[in-house]
Amino acid sequence: MIFTSRNPADFNEIIATFPLAAAAEVSENCRVAHDAQPGWAGVPAPARGRVIAQVGRLVEANKEALATLVSREIGKVYAEALGEVQEVIDTCDFFLGEGRRMYGQTIPSEMPDKQLFTFRNPVGAVMIITAANFPAAVPSWYFIPALLTGNSVVWKPAEHAGAIALAIAELLHAGGVPKDVLRVVIADGPTTYAGLEAALAAGHVDKVGFTGSTAVGRKLGELAGRHLQSPCLELGGKNPMVVMPDADIDLVIEGALFAGFGTAGQRCTSLGTLWLHRSIHDEVLARYARTVSNAVVGDPFADVLYGPMIDEKYLANHLLHLEMIQPHHSVYGSTGVGQITADNPRSGFIGDPAIGWFAHPTIVAGVRPGDALYANETFGPLVGVGVFDSLDEAIELANGHGYGLSSALYSNDPTTIWRFRQGISAGMLSINNSTSGAEAHLPFGGNGKSGNGSRQSGIWVLDQFTRWQAMNWDYSGKLQKAQMDVIDLPHDPGFKIS
Ligand code: UN1
């Protein structure tokens, strides 16, 4: 089957066409990467670090070209696309030095003439499956540390971001990553699953990394679990933003605008529900509604809040999510709801809505537990607003749906901030800042429905792509038995100061 990747802001423009791989091709790529891995692991880690440095410089030199492709293939606003490519560069910069560290430890033994050590070993061949919304940055959080630590990688990007993935693979190969050590295979979801299942059964995949929906994460987690593997899962979010009465409201509006509608709400860290203290609810809701109504939507190369949905499929999902709006809700944010068309226009729109997959921003007020909108990730330009009376209630509301990726609190009171930090179940929290926009060297990941506790980025991701090996070396010339042949120094347990 041939897949056609189109510009979502102008679907008449074809970005690329590529054949989708069959399951056998997916598993064959895993075999090739598996066979190439020992050779790559044999390259000294500092030399692999040099390769990562070279890749980083190449991505930097191609930043505008890659960002342009990101904007054209998935419709991300160009300024954000530049930021996305910068995140790849930052990730390379962070890990290039790790090649000269990859520290292990020397540890004293309980017996004489014996020494203990730890080493980090690569896991082996890694299959990563990534989403279209962050087609460069998020994949790099997997493949850069995985390659640096001596693993080989098979990368299955989202079909809708296939041209971006192929361009990045070319940069990686030009930077010195051997072709068999980093393979890209483009396939649809069920075929990928079948190919991965076969590769796992053949022993050709040692680690799975997946960024995408909770439902697919569950399936991949089950599959990996059958092979006694713990995958790295970065799943959905229903990220709360809690606003206390003492908050700086200008900051709240700015933060909620970007968190809710940046990337057309298609970030796993996008704002799900804005929780407003009852004393400020009406004022903040009115200002938020006004600001969102006035924001400019349209051509991703213009100065807009957001561009098109990633693809028709994402627009269709957004339209389905709008059916979650109930009579007790009230809707704000635009001159219409749903797809932006000539008959359902958005005031101030830039571009031609007839040739793109654009959606109105929608704020739904009156969200409460029990609503479908309370419990489900919507992954589009749709933000819920709800009300609370106390911090404890806000924390309960913020945790109650079982997702736990990102969260935000707006307050300047230290006690409130510390209590929120302790109570919130999310893996990430922002104080007086957007739920989205994590920096590339802090642990990124979630709990509950948002992931299995794995963390990407920074030093923390090393535990995903390496296994600790413990070594003991006894040079006493005899068998010393741990816990038995230990030195017992004389002491006086009954001693008291007279
Ligand atoms: C994602 O949507 O999968 O924190 C990742 C952020 C970005 C990454 C989002 N740096 O919003």
In a domain, 488, yes or no: no
pLDDT score, position 408: 98
Q: What confidence tens digit (pLDDT) does each residue in 54-68 have?
A: 999 999 999 999 999
pTM score of the predicted model: 0.96
Residue 440 has pLDDT above 90, yes or no: no
The CATH code of the domain that includes 360 is 3.40.309.10
Catalytic residue among 84, 87, 234, 377: 234
> Among 46, 44, 36, which residue's Cα sits nearest to residue 179?
36
* Pair 225, 343 in one domain: no
Ligand 1 shell residues, CB under 6 Å: 133-134, 138, 211, 267-269, 436-438
Tokens linked to 482: 């741990």
* Pair 431, 462 in one domain: no
The parent domain of residue 174 ranges over 2-235+451-472
Contact 459, 438 (CB under 8 A): no
Q: How far apart are CA 150 and CA 170, in angstroms?
A: 19
Contact 338, 360 (CB under 8 A): yes
User: By CB neighbour count within 10 A (0-12 exposed, 13-18 middle, 19+ buried), where does 286 fall?
Assistant: exposed
Q: How far apart are CA 428 and CA 146, in angstroms?
A: 23
* Pair 113, 91 in one domain: yes
In a domain, 206, yes or no: yes
Band (pLDDT 50/70/90 cuts) for residue 466 is: very high
In a domain, 80, yes or no: yes
Atom of ligand 1 nearest to the CA of 434: 11
* Pair 155, 194 in one domain: yes
State whether the Cα torsion 48-54-57-63 is positive or negative.
Answer: negative
SS3 per-residue string spanning 214-259: HHHHHHHHHHHHHCCCCCEEECCCCEEEEECCCCCHHHHHHHHHHH
Residue 273 has pLDDT above 90, yes or no: yes
Atom of ligand 1 nearest to the CA of 439: 10
In a domain, 478, yes or no: no
pLDDT score, position 23: 98
Q: How far apart are CA 206 and CA 41, in angstroms?
A: 14
* Pair 290, 205 in one domain: no
To which H or E segment does residue 383 belong?
strand 382-388
* Pair 388, 459 in one domain: no
Tokens linked to 174: 């030009």
How close is the Cα of 137 to the center of ligand 1, in Å? 8
How close is the Cα of 267 to the center of ligand 1, in Å? 6
In a domain, 493, yes or no: no
Contact 429, 241 (CB under 8 A): no
* Pair 103, 30 in one domain: yes
Q: What confidence tens digit (pLDDT) does each residue in 320-352 have?
A: 999 999 999 999 999 999 999 999 999 999 999
Residue % of the chain over a pLDDT of 90: 99
* Pair 373, 432 in one domain: yes
* Pair 143, 259 in one domain: no
In a domain, 495, yes or no: no
* Pair 250, 390 in one domain: yes
In a domain, 42, yes or no: yes
Contact 366, 385 (CB under 8 A): yes
The CATH code of the domain that includes 82 is 3.40.605.10
In a domain, 18, yes or no: yes
Number of domains in the chain: 2
pLDDT score, position 477: 98
Query: Rounded to a whole number, what is the largest CA-CA distance in the chain?
Result: 96
Q: What confidence tens digit (pLDDT) does each residue in 77-135 have?
A: 999 999 999 999 999 999 999 999 999 999 999 999 999 999 999 999 999 999 999 99
pLDDT score, position 379: 97
* Pair 165, 296 in one domain: no
User: Annotated catalytic, 268?
Assistant: yes
User: Annotated catalytic, 73?
Assistant: no
* Pair 260, 333 in one domain: yes
Average pLDDT in the chain: 98
Residue nearest to atom 7 of ligand 1 (CA): 437
Q: How far apart are CA 235 and CA 232, in angstroms?
A: 10
